[in-house]
Chain A
Amino acid sequence: MSHRIIRAALATLMLILMLALPGLALAHGGHTGPAQTFTQDIGPYEIAITIEIPSGAPAPLYLNIAPQEDVGGVTMQFRAVPRGQPFAGAAIAEVQGLPGTQGIYYTELAIDRMGDWELEARASGPRGSGVARIPFTITANPMPAGSIGLFVALGGLVVAMIASIITSLVGQRRTKPLPGWLRWGIGQAMFACLIAAAIFGAQQFSSIIQNAQAASGTIPTVVGRPHANLAIHTNPGTAQASQPMTLTLNLSDGSTGLPIDDLITHHDALVHLVVISADGGFYAHMHPPRSAPGQFDAALTPDRPGRYTAYVEIERLDSGIQVIARDFMVGGTTSVAPPTFQGMGERTVNGLQVHLTANNAQFKAGKQATFTFSFSQQGKPLDDLQPWLGMGGHLIARSDDGAIFGHIHALGPMAPAGLMATGTNYGPNLQFVYTFPQAGHYQLWGQFRRAEQIITVPFAVDVQ
């Protein structure tokens, strides 16, 4: 009989634990979560750093470092200080990059207090070096009063169960049965703990539901933040074709004019920067590192003179995603031929065959278009595409006049963050759905990742 109680109690315990564990929340909004991924170009190396935010301090700060490309011979260094304090003297964690297929590197730092922090990430290797300063915040995560009761009751239940197992074992060994009051007492204690756990568990569960309802309620608790303005500077002041340059982005609040330092990650980066030359022949999708509040520095080498547009995609805390576009000029001369954009059909990119098809032979404004990329190598379909920025594929669409900037994602679930992402693969087909909002000529770039390389597939369409 007592075995049955134990089994029943175990089942209840599992059930309560299941209910008590908060559900995974995946949404925009951006208040500090347990793990946040920051993809940044640290010098020439694109590295996705996942910070596991501790729920209190002092605590270890675990870093998962996922290079998006080969980092053989690259030294990566990390240190963290409370925001605003100098980095000099802070403890350094160092990681050596290995050549070939990249997994995830782990390291940790120590955090001694809660509040706003800044992580400095440096990378230096054969192709160059760079630095990024990543902001993160540690907030206290107090246990709700109900949880304390729940854990006390669960603890009591476990103790009573162990006592029950011991007494039944002892009882089997002894010829004289144990006194009835002992078994009765343990049974009663177990029952009391069970009832208490059920009550506290139900309370916890209903508060989780209430929070979820409040979060999805029709009345917003936050109304969003002011818009952002973007100032850009080039260094050198007059950039030259075929010469390396730095494009500095300065983001400021549209109402106060102060630097914006409340950016949250969306698609695993604080800033997605797309730089496109007027003719579409130069295209770069980058994740510039943060160097100071509101400031991001992108290193690039434009290959032709003329007008360029920088599209900066950001998400402020409690606000939606916004894209701000600014133009800059590049001087000099070049021998680069004007680009020729292919339409649908097959092409070879990075040694792979990419077959592109659409649902319609003609594209019309306001009518849905579906693009399918099929990847193969020597006739063999490829299903080993890797997630990049949490997705199987990204597609950037731009109208010739630069007025429309589309950022479309491949159909399919998002990849899990950190270590889990390494087991996620996509292919051979990746599908994008987009409705061109106005007629015109559009240039598009599909972007994918395979074997630690970003594959960019440019094409163009006419929309009637």
Chain B
Amino acid sequence: MSRFIACCCMLTLIGALLAGCGGSGITQSAETASYKVQLTLDAASFGQRIATIEVQDKSGKSAQVDQVVVAPLMEAMGMASPEQTAQSLSTGRYQVQGEFFSMLGEWEFDVKISKGGQEEIARFKIPVNQQ
């Protein structure tokens, strides 16, 4: 009986720890008028972060665009982080490193995609709950 209780407690504890700290990377998808956009962040926390962005056309083919800019914004506090231009890794694949988040709370992470003078914005909501 006591062994059973101990096991239950340990499992609960491990579960809670995993829920609290585990899985810090974030992947989200969004669509604009012409693109399917996937954003991957190595973590939703303070400090230097890496954002990887995949841009596809509506048929799911990697899209060739002119520029991809990320613009993090915390609307509730009226705080914008500097915009940054992502580097192209391969066709439709972009990466950018920077300090995107400086406060706890929900951030809006805008990915601005421009091609031929036309800009489309994919909006992501990133909950930042770790320093």
Contacts and interface: CB of A to CB of B under 8 A. Distances in A.
Given A368-B71, A409-B77, 6 more contacts: A5-B6, A15-B13, A28-B76, A187-B1, A411-B79, A433-B81
A341 B58 CA distance: 51
A4 interface: yes
A2 B82 contact: no
Interface string B5-27: 11011101100100000000000
B31 interface: no
Interface of A: 1-2, 4-5, 7-9, 11-12, 15, 18-19, 26-28, 187, 191, 194, 359, 368, 370, 408-409, 411-414, 431, 433-435
A7 B5 CA distance: 11
Contacts of B8: 8
A194 B76 CA distance: 41
Contacts of B2: 1-2, 4-5, 187
B78 A409 contact: yes
Interface stretch (B35-43, B59-67, B89-97, B98-106): B98-106
Contacts, number: 67
A11 B17 CA distance: 12
A125 B71 CA distance: 49
B118 interface: no
B80 A433 contact: yes
16 contacts: A5-B2, A8-B6, A12-B12, A15-B13, A18-B16, A27-B76, A191-B5, A194-B5, A370-B82, A409-B77, A411-B99, A412-B102, A413-B104, A431-B82, A433-B79, A435-B80
Interface of B: 1-3, 5-6, 8-10, 12-13, 16, 46, 71, 76-83, 99, 102-105, 131
A412 to B, nearest CB: 5
A7 B9 CA distance: 9
B104 A26 contact: yes
B131 A413 contact: yes
B82 A5 contact: no
Contacts of B131: 413
Contacts of A9: 5, 9
A19 B105 CA distance: 20
A29 to B, nearest CB: 10
A368 B83 contact: yes
Contacts of B79: 409, 411, 433
A450 to B, nearest CB: 20
A186 to B, nearest CB: 11
A412 B104 CA distance: 10
A8 B1 contact: no
B104 to A, nearest CB: 7
